[in-house]
Chain A
Amino acid sequence: MLEVTGLRVAYGGIQAVRGISFHVNEGEMVALIGANGAGKTSTLKALARLIDAAGGSVRLRGEEISKLAPHRLVGQGIALVPEGRGVFPRMSILENLQMGAYCRSDRDGIDADIEHVFTLFPRLKERARQLAGTMSGGEQQMLALGRALMSRPQLLLLDEPSMGLAPIMVQKIFEVIRTVAAEGMTILLVEQNARLALETSQRGYVMESGEITLSGESAELLADPKVRAAYLGE
């Protein structure tokens, strides 16, 4: 479904992503792991067109999307849950979810999907009228995930969904991510928590200083001594 070839991202003269290639098949969850500063978030930002790539190609179902205007991406079926969640703090939970469905006009479908998000995250339903900025980090992560689902994406990009959350919250969020994946969603998961990411995904790529150094089945990567030493703290 997603085919990335030779993607490069540079900030000024500094190359953050040095020509990486990877792919995500339909219905698959793929993890992109690596240390802080390895270029994972830059990769996702380039995919979501929040920053311009310095080179390479990004194809979604065969169609080149790396030159698309950022606001057109959601129409192509891509939704990003950004690092740091990025909810609209002065809008209510409900309005944040409605923003997720900004490009849709099927009112009944939107209402049904809001209910669906509320069943995934009952906490959000209780606080539907509350301003997003008043919620805890974990609740905001739930909202960001729910909001991304509201666009009915075909490809979900998750940027560090566990970052800064209490372990119990991380568990809850990943439970929902697994549920969404089980419903057939294609997911690219960027995580610093390598164990969690590899345990959740089918395949994985390891990024190091802007390059992909390892790839394979997640179970194999979990067993790989290099991965264990570098990312699993063993």
Chain B
Amino acid sequence: MAMDTFLQQIINGLVLGSIYALVALGYTMVYGIMGLINFAHGEVVMIGALVALTVINLLAGSGLPGIVIALIGLIAAAPVCMATGFAIERIAYRPLRRAPRLAPLITAIGVSIVLQNLAMLIWGRRYHSFPPILPSTGYEIFGATISGLQIAIVVIAALMMAGLSLLVQRTRLGRAMRATAENPQIAQLMGVDINRIISLTFVIGSALAAVAGLMVSANYSIAHYYMGFILGLKAFTAAVLGGIGNLAGAMLGGILLGLIEALGAGYIGDLTGGFLGSHYQDVFAFFVLILVLVFRPSGLVGEKVAERA
């Protein structure tokens, strides 16, 4: 097991993990505020990826610099995702605010299916490829390669997470979000319009999902209507790994899951004598999910989950 392979997998894992972390934040924010798993969140990422990719493909021959095109793609995708997130909450969750907890879980799956099929109608069943607009120069460090795109993904994800942390910890809106998460009734007494806070939570999470969607499609050079499902499940795993409801946990869980997957995929062949190949990558995420649920259901940095009714 050469050092350079190891380092390469660490790099790949960090990139993948940054994306998982951004998506996981969407799950964990909504859970923190409403105690609800928004299983449609993965589809928001998918919509972000496909909208961005559509715009990017339209502009690919325009002669604009690749970074500008990617940015325009994001600027197009973000409002669509934010509107989708807003609509999901209004249509699928708000009418069920006082319903038993199973009900919104079922509508979440329903919304997920609706969005997938909607995307299939709009973009078809085929794979959409990301045009080669971004510089593909790689930088070598200790025998491993990291591309400009990979650096950009990690840096942008880190910036977005820092921004979100500042928003939640330091601003009046962030205080209102935390107050709503802790006790919505009391937050209302303070004058917090909790419906507005819940809507904003979905909108912010969806904006992060748009960024993540662009990152995924750029990183894998591909997007399709079905991509949100598995990505959503993994990001959900990351959120649970870190401790659902906890922002720092989602970030940590995302990065860790990315690393576990990348290292697992890199070494599974060696470990099993070639019996299992790197296409078993997905197994790791769900193996981790099972282990966490069995041994530490509150996650790595999570508190008691049962406290929220």
Partners in one complex: yes
Q: What is the interface of chain A, defined by CB distance below 8 A to chain B?
A: 48, 50, 69-75, 79-80, 82, 86, 88-91, 95, 98-100, 102-103, 147, 151
* Cβ 8 A contact of A102, one of B182, B183, B185, B190: B190
Query: Can you name the residue of chain A whose Cβ is closest to the Cβ of B182?
Result: A88
Collect the chain A residues with CB atoms within 8 Å of residue B185's CB: 50, 70, 86
A-B contact pairs, 9 of them (CB 8 A): A71-B194, A74-B191, A80-B189, A82-B189, A86-B183, A95-B175, A98-B172, A99-B187, A102-B192
Bound-complex Cα distance A82 to B185 (A): 10
Contact indicator B192/A71 (Cβ below 8 Å)? yes
Nearest residue (CB) in B for A78 is B189
Q: How far is the CB of A11 from chain B (nearest CB, A)?
A: 14
Q: Which of A69, A88, A95, A147 contacts B183 (CB 8 A)?
A: A88
- Chain A residues with CB under 8 Å of B191's CB are 71-75, 102-103, 151
Q: Assuming the A-B contacts A91-B175, A98-B175, are A48 and B182 also in contact, with contact meaning beta carbons closer than 8 angstroms in the complex?
A: no
Cβ-defined contact, B189 with A74, below 8 A? yes
Per the bound structure, the CA–CA distance linking A74 and B176 in Å amounts to 15
Q: In the complex the two chains form, is A99's CB within 8 Å of B190's CB? A: yes
- CB-CB < 8 A to B192: which residues of A? 71, 99, 102
- Rounded to whole angstroms, the CA-CA distance of A73 and B40 in the bound complex is 35
* Interface 0/1 of B149-178, CB less than 8 Å to A: 000000000000000000000001001101
Number of A-B contacts (CB under 8 A): 64
B179 at the interface (CB under 8 A from A): yes
Least Cβ–Cβ distance between B181 and chain A, in angstroms:
9
- Chain B: minimal CB distance from A146 (Å): 13
B194 to chain A: closest residue by CB: A71
Residue pair B190, A90 in contact (C-beta under 8 Å):
no
A50-B186 Cα distance, complex, nearest whole Å: 9
Expressed in whole angstroms, the Cα–Cα distance for A31 and B179 within the complex equals: 30
B188 is an interface residue with CB less than 8 A from chain A: yes
Would you give the 0/1 interface string for B180-219, flagging 1 where the beta carbon is closer than 8 Å to chain A?
A: 0011011111111110000000000000000000000000
CB distance from A108 to the nearest CB of B (A): 16
**Which B residues touch A88, using CB under 8 A?**
178-179, 182-183, 186
> Do B189 and A50 touch across chains, with their CB atoms under 8 A apart?
yes
The interface of chain B, by Cβ under 8 A from chain A, is 172, 175-176, 178-179, 182-183, 185-194
CB contacts (< 8 Å) of B189 on chain A: these are 48, 50, 70, 73-74, 79-80, 82, 86
Decide: A74 and B190 in contact? CB cutoff 8 A: yes
> Nearest Cβ distance between residue A9 and chain B, in whole angstroms?
16
Tell me which residues across on chain A come within 8 A of B186, comparing CB atoms: 82, 86, 88
Distance (whole angstroms) from the CB of B143 to the closest CB of chain A: 45
Per the bound structure, the CA–CA distance linking A102 and B189 in Å amounts to 10
Q: Which residues of B contact A98 (CB under 8 A)?
A: 172, 175
Least Cβ–Cβ distance between A234 and chain B, in angstroms? 37
User: What residues on A are CB-neighbors of B193 within 8 Å?
Assistant: 69, 71
Using known A-B contacts A70-B188, A71-B193, determine if residue A89 contacts B182 with beta carbons closer than 8 Å. yes
| Nearest B residue (CB) for A101 | B190
State A90–B194 Cα separation when bound (angstroms): 18
- List chain B residues, Cβ under 8 A from A73: 189, 191
Q: Which residue of A lies closest to B303 (CB)?
A: A90
Partner of B179 from the list A75, A79, A80, A91 (CB cut-off 8 Å) is A91
Smallest CB gap from A70: residue in B: B188
Name the one of B178, B188, B194 contacting A91, with C-beta atoms under 8 angstroms: B178
Q: A72-B191, A91-B178 are in contact. List 16 more A-B contacts (CB 8 A).
A: A48-B189, A50-B185, A70-B185, A86-B185, A86-B186, A88-B179, A90-B178, A91-B175, A91-B179, A91-B182, A98-B175, A99-B190, A99-B192, A102-B172, A102-B191, A103-B190
Q: Which residue of B lies closest to A50 (CB)?
A: B185
User: Is B188 touching A90 in the complex (CB atoms < 8 A)?
Assistant: no
- Nearest residue (CB) in A for B181 is A90
Task: Kindly state the separation between the CA atoms of A99 and B175 in the bound complex, as whole angstroms.
Answer: 7
Quote the shortest CB–CB distance from A8 to chain B (angstroms).
21
- What's the least CB distance linking A66 to chain B, in Å? 16
With known contacts A71-B193, A71-B194, A99–B188 Cβ distance under 8 A: no
Interface centre among A73, A79, A102, A103 (most CB of B within 10 A): A102
Q: How far is the CA of A117 from the CA of B182 in the complex (A)?
A: 23
Taking CB as reference atom, which chain B residue is nearest A132?
Answer: B182
Cβ contacts under 8 Å, B175 to chain A: 91, 95, 98-99, 102
Which residues of chain B come closer than 8 Å to A82, judged between CB atoms?
A: 186, 189
Residues of B within 8 A of A90 (CB): 178, 182
A65 to B193, CA, bound (A): 17
Interface pair B183/A99, CB less than 8 Å apart:
no
- Measured in the bound complex, the distance between the Cα atoms of B186 and A16 in whole Å is 22
In the bound assembly, the distance between CA atoms of A72 and B191 in angstroms comes to 6
